[in-house]
Amino acid sequence: MRQIGIGIAGLGTVGAGVYKHLAQNRALLTERVGAELVVRRAVVRDVNKPRVAGPPPGELTTRWQDLIDDPAVDIVVELMGGIDEPLALINAAIDAGKVVVTGNKALLAEHGREIFARAAGKKVPVFFEASTAGGIPIIKTIREALIANHIVSIHGIINGTSNYILTRMTDAGLDFSTALAEAQAQGYAEADPTLDINGWDAAHKAIILASLAYGFWVETGNIFVEGIDKLTATDIRFAGELGYRVKLLAIIKADAGPENGGGVEVRVHPTLIPKTHVLASVSGVFNAVRVCGDVVGETLFYGRGAGQDPTASAVISDLAEAAVALNGERRCYGFTPHGLYGTCRPLEGIRSRYYLRLAVDDRPGVLAQVAGILGHNEIGISSVVQPETHDEAGRAQLVLMLDRASHRQMQTALDEILRLGCVMPPAALLRVESFGAE
């Protein structure tokens, strides 16, 4: 049986899982791939550190360059994390003609354009299923299974940490800081959870999905990103009373078809989702991605979006495909650009429905002043809730559900509202998604 040599850069949680499951399912993989996948070298920071799973000490190294120089390594697996060193490794592997597998979402989001251009120039495939949504095979789905479709929209809950925090805030009434501390204690959040709670972990994944779906590489500066760190238990509660659950949602849409210019919007932010929609029921650390195509219609993918085993499963699926790629010419080397789309819509023109909560003086005429400003900016009010209870400062709470308006309209109106003497900042402003039902 032919053997294919693998070099793994990084034996952390995911790398150790890849090694473990390659050994555990060796016979199954050999039968299905038609070759034996063998780890030849692994790059670690400390070769003397005790490990539960990994190659023998003689196959460990602290230099990623050893993977490039070793002729027994056919496929390089990058699981190091970070940007600069992984980029250098991947570029060197491509130049050496070694197939690349990576799960590095931040690296691909920031340098995907140059990586895939280099890969196409050298005719070396790059596989990256593990970069987005863990064990959910969403990359292969968009790139292969839905190849006949113009992608109308993608909606994704693609960060398990934020979803766990929001689930606990919703179901147990916890405030944000308490829910975050619980997520860290349970091992669902890192000691430094910044990228999870500020929205950028999900945004990196959204960039990859949008780029695959629409054939041009989306730049990080062209998307709107807002995290969950400013959310309050009060707004979670009001949203529930109005029939919604709040999720950190990645939204990718092509409102106009390619024949109309193909403007694409990409955004990540806390979003009110109707409780009746299936995405509202995605709880805990689970991920879900809804993809709507013009041919297939609506599809839904659900599963664990992180963790050793789901991510290792995605890496090994790429290894199996990489093994096949070693034997034949490929047309696609990871990303296929095309000219049907090609622009991101500016945030100012993107339209949404909104949830707005204001702290106001409890006196007559306040609602009329707020409604007057909204009306002047051509923003309709679909419903108003004013609870009889007051906040700890004695202020009344005014909650408005607003009709569709552009970001520019909404920000102009909100700036005017916050200048009213009867309104105390800050306001809580959240977007509402009804999945084409508006």
Number of other residues whose CB lies within 10 A of the CB of residue 98: 21
The full length of the chain comes to: 438
Give the list of residues 6+ apart from residue 314 with CB closer than 8 angstroms, or none. 103, 129, 130, 134, 135, 137
Is residue 122 a contact partner of residue 150, using CB atoms and an 8 Å limit? Answer: no
How far apart, in whole angstroms, are the C-alpha atoms of residue 213 and residue 217? Answer: 10
How far apart, in whole angstroms, are the C-alpha atoms of residue 237 and residue 223? Answer: 28
* DSSP H or E run through 31: helix 26-33
For the record, the structure tokens of 232 come out as 């309050």
For the record, the structure tokens of 25 come out as 């399912």
Is residue 253 a contact partner of residue 434, using CB atoms and an 8 Å limit? Answer: no
How far apart, in whole angstroms, are the C-alpha atoms of residue 62 and residue 43? Answer: 5
Residue 404 pairs with which residues in a beta bridge? none
How far apart, in whole angstroms, are the C-alpha atoms of residue 131 and residue 318? Answer: 11
**Active-site residue, 275 included:** no
Residue 15, phi then psi, degrees to nearest 5: -60, -45
Q: Which of 20, 49, 122, 205 is catalytic?
A: 205
For the record, the structure tokens of 268 come out as 């990540």
Residue 308, phi then psi, degrees to nearest 5: -60, -55
- Known catalytic residues? 205
